[in-house]
């Protein structure tokens, strides 16, 4: 209840609403605009008249476009997919994941939802609309020029699916390892009031501030020559760590570790210590208490921290571009390589389509996990 004294005059409310709308426009515009661009022919995509970019006359003249029917059906599919994801998926994951593997369940579900959406949208929808178009007359005529050919170029011809698979391997590895190592450490640090624990956290804070290029400068010579110095230990088949996704996973986990333990520690501190003391009185060891009593109530914190680990690994450019070679590149460095040879405008639109492809999973992520992301941000801040 706002009291009478705090009620705002109408002019202020309107101004505040208008500015908020302006901010939303600024926040969403670049992303929305490159999404629109990615569906147009190069002529339309880089037209200086915004209406031409939206309606794409050149693209329509090229013979590809969307009719009202297709737009309506497409929006319906997106809406239903979003609705189902937000409403049903959390309960499904909770009920079907085997106990203790909820995080894994989420990863699998996210991948499944993504694949199912791509299949429904790009596979099933065109067939349905082809069948319906002759039946609806004027509604079936193209009104907006749009084409998905750039996405085909990116994913099929340019081998972006390989990059996607690499990104998936790296991010999945980083999230699982950094959570399993980090929860243990976070719990230990939260429950120990010793000065040593404090100093570990301080050192972690210093590590958090290091530029990643500094660390990579340390890895590169070691990784490139690793076959040489590992051979006394591993013998003939000592690997060259340079270019190995496993090495990148280890590096990203370590880089992420300071942040992970700070965040998890603050979540663990919020769980009353009485809980594990009670378990200890009942005869549990520390590990057993951790596994059986603390972890079940920690899932919100673990999911939130996992999200941020995911973001770090998925968004990384510096480490992956320097430590992986071209054959197993992840998505973000791959797109940087793509625009280096961007000579024609067609190449540019292809790069735009690749950029949108990278952003789409993040978009879904915010949609599903908005609350966890917000709570993660604020948990970090409140605890400092």
Partner 1 sequence: MKPRVFAAFVGPSILMMLLFIAFPLLSVFWNSFNVTQPVYETVEVESCTAGFLEQTCTTEMKTRPILDEAGEIVRQTEFVGLQTYRNVLELDRLGEALTSGSWAAIQNIDFWKALRFTIMFTLVTLPLVVGFGLGIAMLINNASKLIRGPVIFVSLLPFIITPVIGALSINWLFRGDGILTAFLEWWLARDLALFAQAWTIELLMMVYRVWHVAPFAAIIFYAGLQTVNQDSIESAVIDGASRWQRLRLIIIPHLMPLIIFVAMIHLMDSYRVFEEVVGFRAEGYVISLQWLTYDFLKPDQAGNRSISRASASAMLTMIGIAILLVPLLKRTWRDHKGTR
Residues 133-192 that bind partner 1 (CB under 8 A): 181-182, 184-185, 187-189, 191-192
Site string for partner 1, 2-21 (x = CB under 8 A): -x-xx-x----x--xx-xx-
Minimum CB distance to partner 1, residue 362 (Å): 5
Among residues 31, 72, 116, 278, the one that binds partner 1 under rule CB under 8 A: 31
Q: Which strand (E) or helix (H) includes residue 199?
A: helix 195-209
- Strand-pair partners of 145: 65
Q: Is 28 in the site for partner 1 (CB under 8 A)?
A: yes
Minimum CB distance to partner 1, residue 149 (Å): 18
Minimum CB distance to partner 1, residue 168 (Å): 15
Nearest to 317 by CA among 255, 373, 225: 255
The helix/strand/coil state of 192 is coil
Contact between residue 247 and residue 223 where contact means Cβ atoms under 8 Å apart: yes
Q: How many residues bind partner 1 (CB under 8 A)?
A: 100
Site string for partner 1, 79-98 (x = CB under 8 A): --------------------
Site for partner 1 in 253-282 (CB under 8 A): 253-255, 257-258, 261
Contact between residue 238 and residue 231 where contact means Cβ atoms under 8 Å apart: yes
Q: Rounded to an integer, what distance in angstroms lies between the CA atom of residue 203 and that of residue 125? A: 54
Minimum CB distance to partner 1, residue 371 (Å): 9
**Please, which residue, 117 or 219, has the CB nearer to partner 1?**
219
Q: Rounded to an integer, what distance in angstroms lies between the CA atom of residue 335 and that of residue 359? A: 12
Q: Is 360 in the site for partner 1 (CB under 8 A)?
A: no
Site string for partner 1, 214-253 (x = CB under 8 A): xxxxxxxxx---------------------------xx-x
Q: Rounded to an integer, what distance in angstroms lies between the CA atom of residue 264 and that of residue 289? A: 17
Cα atoms in the Cβ-side hemisphere of radius 13 Å centred on 279? 16
Minimum CB distance to partner 1, residue 236 (Å): 15
**Please, which residue, 200 or 298, has the CB nearer to partner 1?**
200
Minimum CB distance to partner 1, residue 297 (Å): 18
Nearest to 324 by CA among 232, 250, 255: 250
Among residues 81, 82, 125, 373, the one that binds partner 1 under rule CB under 8 A: 373
Minimum CB distance to partner 1, residue 137 (Å): 34
**Please, which residue, 130 or 325, has the CB nearer to partner 1?**
325
DSSP state of 344: S
Minimum CB distance to partner 1, residue 162 (Å): 18
**Please, which residue, 45 or 107, has the CB nearer to partner 1?**
45
Site for partner 1 in 42-61 (CB under 8 A): 46, 48-50, 53
Nearest to 55 by CA among 75, 29, 36: 36
Among residues 107, 154, 175, 200, the one that binds partner 1 under rule CB under 8 A: 200
Q: Is 362 in the site for partner 1 (CB under 8 A)?
A: yes
Q: 232: burial class by Cβ within 10 Å (0-12, 13-18, 19+)?
A: exposed
Q: Is 76 in the site for partner 1 (CB under 8 A)?
A: no
Contact between residue 205 and residue 308 where contact means Cβ atoms under 8 Å apart: no
Q: Rounded to an integer, what distance in angstroms lies between the CA atom of residue 267 and that of residue 300? A: 9
Token reading at 331:
């998505």
From 86-94, 143-151, 292-300, 316-324, give the range in contact with partner 1 by CB under 8 A: 316-324
Nearest to 60 by CA among 70, 74, 72: 70
Q: Rounded to an integer, what distance in angstroms lies between the CA atom of residue 149 and that of residue 146? A: 9
């Amino acid at each position: 209840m706002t009291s009478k004294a705090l009620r705002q005059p109408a002019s202020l409310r309107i101004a505040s609403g208008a500015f908020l709308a302006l901010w939303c426009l600024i926040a969403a515009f670049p992303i929305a605009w490159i999404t629109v661009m990615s569906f147009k022919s190069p002529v339309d995509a880089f037209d200086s008249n915004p209406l031409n970019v939206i309606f794409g006359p050149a693209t329509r003249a090229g013979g590809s476009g969307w009719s009202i029917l297709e737009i309506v059906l497409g929006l319906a599919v997106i809406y239903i997919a979003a609705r189902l994801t937000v409403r049903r998926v959390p309960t499904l994951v909770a009920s079907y994941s085997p106990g203790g593997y909820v995080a894994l369940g989420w990863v699998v579900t996210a991948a499944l939802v993504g694949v199912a959406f791509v299949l429904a949208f790009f596979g099933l929808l065109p067939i349905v609309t082809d069948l319906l178009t002759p039946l609806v007359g004027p509604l079936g005529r193209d009104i907006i020029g749009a084409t998905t050919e750039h996405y085909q170029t990116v994913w099929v011809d340019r081998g972006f699916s390989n990059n996607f698979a690499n990104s998936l391997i790296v991010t999945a590895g980083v999230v699982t390892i950094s959570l399993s190592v980090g929860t243990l450490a976070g719990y230990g640090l939260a429950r120990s009031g010793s000065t040593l624990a404090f100093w570990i956290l301080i050192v972690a804070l210093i590590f958090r501030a290091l530029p990643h290029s500094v660390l990579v400068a340390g890895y590169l010579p070691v990784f490139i020559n690793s076959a040489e110095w590992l051979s006394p230990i591993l013998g003939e088949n000592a690997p060259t760590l340079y270019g190995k996704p496993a090495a990148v996973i280890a590096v990203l986990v370590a880089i992420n570790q300071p942040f992970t333990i700070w965040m998890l520690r603050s979540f663990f501190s919020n769980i009353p210590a009485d809980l594990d003391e009670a378990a200890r009185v009942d005869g549990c060891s520390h590990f057993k208490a951790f596994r059986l009593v603390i972890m079940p109530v920690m899932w919100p914190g673990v999911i939130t921290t996992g999200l941020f680990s995911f973001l770090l690994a998925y968004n990384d450019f510096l480490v992956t571009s320097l430590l992986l070679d071209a054959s197993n590149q992840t998505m973000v460095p791959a797109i940087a390589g793509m625009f280096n040879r961007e000579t024609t405008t067609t190449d540019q639109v292809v790069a735009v389509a690749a950029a949108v492809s990278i952003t789409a999973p993040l978009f879904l992520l915010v949609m599903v996990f908005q609350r966890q992301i917000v709570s993660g941000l604020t948990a970090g801040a409140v605890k400092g």
